[in-house]
Amino acid sequence: MADLVIKPTSGNLIIKDDQNVARLTIAPTSGATTLSNVTAGTLGSGVTFPTGHVLQVIHASTTTETVCTGGYEATALTATITPRSTSSKVLIIIGANFMTRNTSNNDGLMKIKIYSNGGAGGNGSGTFAAISDEQTHRGYDYGGSGLNINTIDSINWLDSPSLTVPVTYKLYIKMVNGTDVRLNDGGSSTINLLEVAG
């Protein structure tokens, strides 16, 4: 069958249904195509979404415990996303279950950061580097000689990996003052990655 070619001399090309409702509009100069009331179908991979649209969501959780007694240490809270465009942003949303302990005095201080193998020189190759600001979490017992404090904390960050290869994000924790800090001491933690059109 030969192609059916419809070429208006001016104005838009509009295809309507039997109720006189426009279902497809094509502008003659800009090339923009507008669909209305679409109830089924799949968009092709070449479709470009406007800035700010969420393109995909990755969710992961872990109950694995990580115990840190010193400098920054990787936890088991991690997730990987493959951005569809180099202009995309990745919104990282983390909810983490911590316990900070100090068995010798009443001050407990820990810090957290998000690391990635896709930023700050990582380029998705496996080399992890910090990408987020550092967050500090502190507990202090004014009357005791020791401290155990359980918290559920969040850290969020908007990253610009400029990559279309798998990028892994991971939570790191650091013990500053105290005996240790524990991720998932009897609890669970989650990480969500949202690719946002840039």
CA distance 95 to 21: 46
Please answer whether residues 138 and 109 qualify as being in contact, where contact means their C-beta atoms are separated by less than 8 angstroms.
yes
**Cβ-based neighbours of 188, under 8 Å, separated by 6 or more:** 61, 62, 63, 97
pLDDT of residue 138: 82
Alpha-carbon gap, residue 103 to 178, rounded angstroms? 7
pLDDT at 167 (0 to 100)? 93
The beta strand positions in the chain, using DSSP E, are 13-16, 22-26, 33-35, 54-62, 66-68, 73-81, 89-102, 107-116, 129-130, 135-140, 147-159, 167-177, 180-183, 189-196
% of residues, the chain, pLDDT over 70? 86
What's the pTM value of the predicted model, to 2 decimals? Answer: 0.77
Specify the range with the lowest mean pLDDT, choosing from 33-47, 76-90, 155-169.
33-47
Is the pLDDT higher at 48 or at 171? 171
Tokens 């550092």 belong to 134
- Name which of 113, 95, 88 is nearest 167 in CA terms: 88
List of residues 6+ apart from 104 with CB closer than 8 A: 145, 146, 179
Q: How far apart are CA 105 and CA 117, in angstroms?
A: 37
Write the pLDDT tens digit of every residue in 98-107. 988 888 887 8
Task: List CB contacts of 127: < 8 A, sequence separation 6 or more.
Answer: 117, 121
pLDDT digits (tens, 9 = 90+) for 104-155: 887 888 899 999 998 544 555 668 889 999 988 888 777 777 778 888 889 9
pLDDT of residue 114: 96
φ, ψ dihedrals at 63, nearest 5°: -110, 5
Q: Which domains does the chain have, with CATH numbers?
A: 10-39 (no CATH), 54-196 (2.60.120.1340)
